[in-house]
């Protein structure tokens, strides 16, 4: 026999109805949806992290490829420059021969047609080299010797020149842009050290003894 006003265990409180099956299903669905949303958030974060990793990897590969392409282009340009310089160096002795032949040519032969033809070929060769950026190294007597541009063949005393000044150009040098193809061969002044004075004869202390 139950006492009046006493709530028994397992019995709903007064005025509180038990959830209907539909309400229970909705509540369960809400819990499941929240769990699914949380799982989707985690998957989305993981996908974003993986996408960022792929993006960074792609950017690294792209930068590496760009650096590789630049290096290949630089090596190709360097190879072309070396090949051009090597070819031009082989032409310089021919240019020297033309200059020597024309400089030593007697005046009475300069008007001959074949001489004028040789001079024309020489000038065309000069223009072809100039079009490639080849320029002679300008040297005049009195210029200071520069080991980056000049090669000293002779050192000798020269009146009117200071020590280390260029006295004479012996063979013309050439540059390709800023690069020296062949240094100018020069004669350089050398200062002459005065000969030491001979010691004066000491007076003979025994003289007149």
For 57-86, what is each residue's pLDDT tens digit?
999 999 999 999 999 999 999 999 899 999
Distance CA 107, CA 110 (A): 5
Measured distance CA(171)–CA(154) in Å, rounded = 12
Counting beta carbons within 10 angstroms of the beta carbon of residue 38, is it exposed (0 to 12), middle (13 to 18) or buried (19 or more)? exposed
Give residue-wise pLDDT tens across range 31-56.
788 888 888 999 999 999 999 999 99
Mean pLDDT taken over the chain:
85
Task: Note the CATH number of domain 136-192.
Answer: 2.30.22.10
Q: Where are the domains of the chain?
A: 136-192
Euclidean distance between CA atoms 115 and 103, whole angstroms: 12
- Mention every residue, 6+ apart, whose C-beta is less than 8 A from residue 140: 166, 169
């Amino acid at each position: 026999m139950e006492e009046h006003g006493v709530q028994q265990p397992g019995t709903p409180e007064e005025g509180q109805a038990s959830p209907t099956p539909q309400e229970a299903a909705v509540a369960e669905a809400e819990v499941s949806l929240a769990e699914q949303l949380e799982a989707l958030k985690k998957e989305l974060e993981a996908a974003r992290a993986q996408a960022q990793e792929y993006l960074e990897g792609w950017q690294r590969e792209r930068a590496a490829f760009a650096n590789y392409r630049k290096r290949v282009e630089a090596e190709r340009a360097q190879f072309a420059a070396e090949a051009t310089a090597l070819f031009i160096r082989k032409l310089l002795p021919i240019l020297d021969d033309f200059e020597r032949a024309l400089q030593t040519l007697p005046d009475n032969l300069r008007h001959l047609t074949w001489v004028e033809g040789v001079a024309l070929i020489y000038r065309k060769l000069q223009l072809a080299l100039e079009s490639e950026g080849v320029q002679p190294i300008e040297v005049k007597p009195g210029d200071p010797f520069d080991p980056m541009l000049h090669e000293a063949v002779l050192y000798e005393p020269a009146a009117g020149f200071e020590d280390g000044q260029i006295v004479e150009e012996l063979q013309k040098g050439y540059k390709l842009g800023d690069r020296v193809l062949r240094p100018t061969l020069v004669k350089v002044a050398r200062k002459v050290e005065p000969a030491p004075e001979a010691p004066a004869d000491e007076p003979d202390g025994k003289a007149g003894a």
